[in-house]
Amino acid sequence: MKKIDNYLLNREADWANHPVFQRLSTLRSLDEFRGCAQVLTFWIMSFQDLIKFNTLQFQDPKLRQIAETYLSEDIGHEQWFLQDLQSLSITVPSVQELYCQSSASIRQATYQLLAEVFRATNDYERLALLFAVESVANVFFKNISRVVEKFNYSQQLKYFSDNHLTVECEHDFLVNNESYLKLIELTPEQETSIFALLHRVESSFNLILNTLVELLDCTRLQESQTIILNPA
Looking at residue 8, what is its pLDDT?
95
Give me the pLDDT at residue 86, please: 97
Q: Answer yes or no: are the C-beta atoms of 85 and 37 closer than 8 Å.
A: yes
- pLDDT the model gives residue 104: 97
User: Is the separation of the CB atoms in 93 and 106 below 8 Å?
Assistant: no
- 16: in domain: yes
pLDDT at 148: 95
With a CB cutoff of 8 Å and minimum separation 6, the contacts of 172 are 69, 73
Structural contact between residues 124 and 226, judged by C-beta atoms closer than 8 angstroms: no
> pLDDT 10s per residue in the chain (232 long)?
889 999 999 999 999 999 999 999 999 999 999 999 999 999 999 999 999 999 999 999 999 999 999 999 988 999 999 999 999 999 999 999 999 999 999 999 999 999 999 999 999 999 999 999 999 999 999 999 999 999 999 999 999 999 887 777 666 556 566 777 778 999 999 999 999 999 999 999 999 999 999 999 998 877 655 544 465 5
**From CA 160, how far away is CA 37, in angstroms rounded?**
9
* Dist. CA 103–CA 35, nearest whole Å: 11
Q: Is residue 232 part of a domain?
A: no
The answer to whether position 231 is within a domain reads no
Give the domain range for residue 132.
Answer: 2-214
Q: Is residue 223 part of a domain?
A: no
Asked whether residue 28 is assigned to any structural domain, the reply reads yes
Cα separation, 48 vs 97, whole angstroms? 20
Q: What pLDDT, on the 0 to 100 scale, is given for residue 32?
A: 93
User: Is the Cβ–Cβ distance between 41 and 98 less than 8 Å?
Assistant: yes
pLDDT at residue 225 in the model? 56
Residue 40 backbone phi and psi in degrees, to 5: -75, -10
Residue 22 lies in a domain: yes
CB atoms within 10 A of CB 65: 14
Amino acid at site 209: L
What was the pLDDT predicted at 153? Answer: 94
Element housing 99 (H / E): none
Q: Is 230 inside a domain boundary?
A: no
Q: Does residue 111 belong to any structural domain of this protein?
A: yes
Which domain CATH number covers 135?
1.20.910.10
pLDDT for residue 219: 83
204 class by beta-carbon count within 10 Å (0-12 exposed, 13-18 middle, 19+ buried): buried
Return all residues near 16 (Cβ < 8 A) that are at least 6 apart.
Answer: 139, 142, 143
Number of compact structural domains in the chain? 1
